[in-house]
Amino acid sequence: MTPCNLFDKGFHYTVKIIRTFAISLSRTNIRTASNIGSDTTTKDNNRKEILSMPTKNMTGEQEKIAVVTGSSSGIGYETSLFLARNGFITYATMRNLNKSDNMRLIATKESLPIRVKQLDITDDLSVKNAIQSITAEASRIDVLVNNAGYGLTGAFEDLAMEEVKDQYETNVFGFIRVTQAVLPIMRNQKSGIIVNISSGTVAMGGIPGSSAYVSTKYAIEGLSKSMAYELEPFGIRVVLVEPGVIRTNFYNDIVAAKKSQDPNSPYSQIIQKMAAGFEPLLKNGSSPDVVAKVVLNAVTNETPSHKYLAGKDIETLMEAKRSMCEEEFSKMMMQNFQN
């Protein structure tokens, strides 16, 4: 049997996972561009496994300084805690410091080396001030985790140009802004590792209803791979992490393109079909600490991989994708998003 003829039980499971990604980026009860800053802090429900793990204490020359963007909730929140619990002096940065209460309480309770800093990745001055403040205190930055971002949903034709620009301003230009601010520090110290949180949707090759979001993640992957060649001579490594479906506020905070919410949109039925039955799939998603563990593994490995998957769903999906040809995979995608 050739790969292009593959169609078995595993194939049907693959379809289910793909629907999970598609639906997760196309819910109907999501934000509009006008209230993009109104998210709430994720509750700390997924920390039992982390708390049970032994932590590493770094002292003297072993101390490492980590900076994590988008730390108020979800992946950034768990990654900041995970790094701190494993001995990294961690600067948990976020746009809105009003969302730092949980982080500060846990840091105090567990005596964690976490320092919260205000950093809005869309603001030049905010980024400059935050990085200057961190280097004034710590003298160096060993790890940068670029995590901050959001999702924009809607069929490509329904996207307004300003909505796409806003998506790129945060997900791409924000990433560039922070990374360029940190690079001179790492280059001067001749060491460092940059971990860029991408998305499993890139590994999938894209999904309908999220072309703007997925394209920003493709941009991050292209930038990451290209600058890795430039930075290697300076002792700086670049790593990509592609998470699957993760149980975070990300899905509650997705921005819906205004036109996509019009019931008269020619794509309205497609989006509604994709949204049906999403909640049970999200409940079975991975917890954010799965991604945090991958990040920790990357930054503590002397020879990290260039790319990591994070989550059983995306790992299973990629196994299935590798067992079929591109034409079969694309055909399956079309059939199942139209049904």
Instruction: Give the residue numbers annotated as catalytic, written as ranges.
Output: 213
Among 256, 223, 265, 259, CA closest to 240? 223
Instruction: Note the helical H segments in the chain.
Output: 9-24, 48-51, 74-85, 101-110, 124-138, 161-168, 174-189, 200-204, 211-231, 268-275, 278-283, 288-300, 312-322, 326-338
Q: How many CB atoms lie within 10 A of CB 310?
A: 25
Distances 15 to 56, 61, 81, 191 between C-alpha atoms, Å: 41, 49, 34, 42
91, two tokens: 């600067």
Q: What is the spatial distance between Cα 233 and Cα 205, in angstroms, rounded to a whole number?
A: 31
Planar angle of CA 205, 175, 125, nearest 5 degrees? 160
Q: How far apart are CA 292 and CA 79, in angstroms?
A: 4
Taking 3-state DSSP, the helix, strand and coil percentages for the chain, each rounded to the nearest 5, stand at 55, 15, 30
8 A C-beta contact, residue 21 and residue 207: yes
**Amino acid, single-letter form, for residue 136:** A
Q: Three-state SS for 32?
A: coil
